[in-house]
Amino acid sequence: MSAFDHIVILTGAGLSAESGLSTFRDPDGIWAKHRIEDVATPEAFARDPETVLDFYNQRRRGARDVKPNAAHMALARLETEFPGRVTTVTQNIDPLHEWAGTRNLVHMHGEILRTFCMHCGDRMPWEDDLTVDLVCGRCGNTGGMRPDVVWFGEMPYRMDEIYEDLARCDLFLSIGTSGNVYPAAGFVVEARRAGAHTVELNLEPSEGVSMFAEVIHGKATEMVPAYVERLLNG
């Protein structure tokens, strides 16, 4: 019988790094090659939609060809075998959690394999490149088809559900995130307020490392399977 019965897991780009997807703030990361204000804000899209769409076209192509790693698989196993509730909240826009089998999943920053029309709001799965001359299938307008990804200055998705889960959890795991971006970086505070045990599993100390009761440093594909095994059969 586990000591816990309600786990919330927050994941970031470090979880997908060993699947071959770049992180954001590592020395060779995405924000070392692109300026956020040029490619990841509503203003950038209004000013230069081709540059923004091309930035996400590159990432969409990359996300189609990668595979879940042992850390994704371990988290899917945890959801399947853990007797209590497990909610995975990911900042990642790649599909690797679902491809590993995780089902109770919240993509708070959206999904690179979905698009929506800014004119009519129609949302749909989308695997090809997006271009400015694409015609929306529902409203017939062009110029509005954008990645279903939350940009800086926009509200992340399903925040009410996330805060409800955090208020009830008794174990909070933060995996592969630098703790630089809110509201995700503040989830550990909500979990502590709920009395949860909080664990950071990351390659190196995050910005918020001092707020965690337990800290494990290492590579996700090594420490996450080991931690899940401990949780399930410890």
Find out whether 179 and 206 touch, Cβ atoms under 8 Å.
yes
Active site residue 34: no
Residue list 197-226, contact with ligand APR (CB under 6 A): 202-204, 206, 219-220
CA angle 129, 24, 19 (to 5 degrees): 70
Strands 145-149 and 123-125: unpaired
Closest CA to 207 of 187, 183, 177: 177
Site size for ligand APR, by CB under 6 A?
A: 23
**What amino acid occupies position 171?**
L
**What amino acid occupies position 34?**
H
Residue 71 or 134 having the CB closest to ligand APR: 71
- Give the integer Cα–Cα distance in Å for 141 and 143: 7
25 near ligand APR, rule: CB under 6 A:
yes
Task: Give the shortest CB-163-to-ligand APR separation in angstroms.
Answer: 18
Residue from 5, 26, 38, 54 binding ligand APR (CB under 6 A)? 26
CA dist 32 → 14, 29, 60, 144 (Å): 16, 5, 19, 28
Task: Give the shortest CB-133-to-ligand APR separation in angstroms.
Answer: 27
Task: Give the shortest CB-49-to-ligand APR separation in angstroms.
Answer: 19
Find out whether 6 and 170 touch, Cβ atoms under 8 Å.
yes
Among 6, 72, 97, 109, the active-site one is 109
Closest CA to 23 of 74, 88, 94, 87: 94
Residue from 8, 9, 10, 14 binding ligand APR (CB under 6 A)? 14
Residue list 42-101, contact with ligand APR (CB under 6 A): 91
Residues that bind ligand APR (CB under 6 A): 12-14, 17-18, 23-26, 29, 91, 109, 176-178, 180-181, 202-204, 206, 219-220
What are the residue numbers of the active site?
109
